[in-house]
């Protein structure tokens, strides 16, 4: 999941940053930083350590109860029709369970870390008075890490880790449309593959522009990735509402 879940990544500033009356530097560049919160649940199949795959169907409240840390932020730099953007999503989840007899181990701890970092570029193909549409290309780096540790019993002190890192190429569109000088529709859609068989990301939201420097956005995001390599399987869909604040300078 990503509260992401983690999340990550994605993405958001390309769409979050309204283009009407941007604040420009003397060089003509505009910049946006957008921290956000994604209340995502997760469903799909996960497999580690060569064990049978486990089907996961966790709501955001389930994930939140095991959440240790989450960080999500998007940035964008634009110049005329060109833009460069990034999306960083990181989550850390942990859970502990006791064993019935306590012979093999008194307790088992599981820690899961997920990172998704996206770096991309866009070009505006439609630029009107009320909005714009960009074509985009990006690379998304994934890192998923699961650690199991045993306390007490015969396996006390034993710790095992299974991880995978891969990159995917994505392509798609992003844009926004202003209904009024302050209210706008925003979103993106991207899909691709690489290390994963399929990697996709879509978002639609409604934004409100308070002034030339601050906007707020509320929307819904869904992200899916289908990765498998030997014993490691990460075939999940994360989706849920997201909320963000975009700061322009």
Map residue 4 onto helix, strand or coil.
coil
Query: How many angstroms separate the CA atoms of 140 and 199, rounded?
Result: 9
Question: If the chain, 249 residues long, is cut into consecutive pieces of 10 residues, what is the mean pLDDT of each piece?
Answer: 38 44 61 95 85 80 86 95 96 72 63 94 95 97 86 67 93 96 96 97 97 96 94 91 95
Work out whether strand 232-248 and strand 29-38 pair parallel, antiparallel, or are unpaired.
antiparallel
| pLDDT at position 66 | 82
Identify whether 5 is preceded by a cis peptide bond (ω within 30 of 0): yes
| pLDDT at position 40 | 93
Measuring CA to CA, which residue among 137, 112, 100 is closest to residue 56? 112
Q: What one-character DSSP code corresponds to residue 61?
A: H
Helix (H) or strand (E) holding 212: none
- Taking a C-beta distance cutoff of 8 angstroms, is the pair 231, 46 a contact? no
Count how many Cα atoms sit within 13 Å of the Cα of residue 53 in the half-sphere of its side chain: 16
Query: How many angstroms separate the CA atoms of 218 and 90, rounded?
Result: 20
Angle at 10 between CA 129 and CA 6, to 5 degrees: 150
Q: What is the CA radius of gyration of the chain?
A: 20
- Taking a C-beta distance cutoff of 8 angstroms, is the pair 221, 242 a contact? yes
Q: State pLDDT tens for residues 92-120.
A: 988 765 555 555 566 667 788 999 999 99
| pLDDT at position 230 | 81
- Taking a C-beta distance cutoff of 8 angstroms, is the pair 89, 2 a contact? yes
| pLDDT at position 14 | 43
Map residue 23 onto helix, strand or coil.
coil
* Sign of the alpha-carbon dihedral angle for 128, 133, 135, 137: positive
Q: b/e string for 211-247 if b means 16 or more Cβ within 10 A?
A: eeeebebebbbebbbbbbeeebbbbbebbbebebebb
| pLDDT at position 124 | 97
Q: How many CB atoms sit inside 10 A of residue 117's CB? A: 18
Map residue 151 onto helix, strand or coil.
strand
């Amino acid at each position: 999941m990503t509260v992401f879940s983690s999340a990550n990544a994605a993405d958001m500033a390309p769409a979050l940053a309204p283009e009407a009356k941007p604040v420009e530097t003397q060089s003509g560049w505009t910049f946006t930083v957008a921290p956000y919160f994604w209340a995502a649940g997760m469903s799909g199949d996960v497999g580690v350590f060569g064990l049978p795959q486990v089907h996961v169907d966790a709501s955001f409240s389930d994930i939140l109860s095991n959440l240790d840390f989450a960080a999500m932020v998007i940035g964008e730099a634009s110049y005329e029709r060109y833009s460069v953007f990034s999306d960083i999503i990181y989550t850390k989840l942990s859970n502990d369970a006791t064993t019935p007899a306590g012979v093999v181990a008194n307790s088992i701890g599981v820690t899961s870390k997920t990172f998704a970092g996206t770096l991309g570029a866009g070009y505006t193909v439609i630029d009107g008075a009320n909005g714009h549409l960009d074509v985009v290309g990006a690379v998304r780096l994934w890192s998923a890490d699961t650690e199991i540790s045993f306390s007490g019993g015969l396996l006390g002190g034993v710790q095992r880790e299974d991880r995978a890192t891969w990159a995917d190429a994505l392509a798609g569109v992003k844009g926004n449309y202003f209904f009024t000088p302050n209210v706008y529709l925003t979103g993106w859609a991207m899909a691709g593959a690489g290390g994963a068989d399929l990697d996709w990301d879509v978002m639609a939201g409604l934004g409100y522009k308070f002034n030339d420097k601050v906007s707020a956005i509320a929307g819904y995001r869904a992200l899916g990735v289908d990765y498998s390599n030997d014993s490691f399987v990460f075939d999940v869909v994360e989706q849920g509402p997201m909320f963000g604040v975009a700061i322009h300078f």
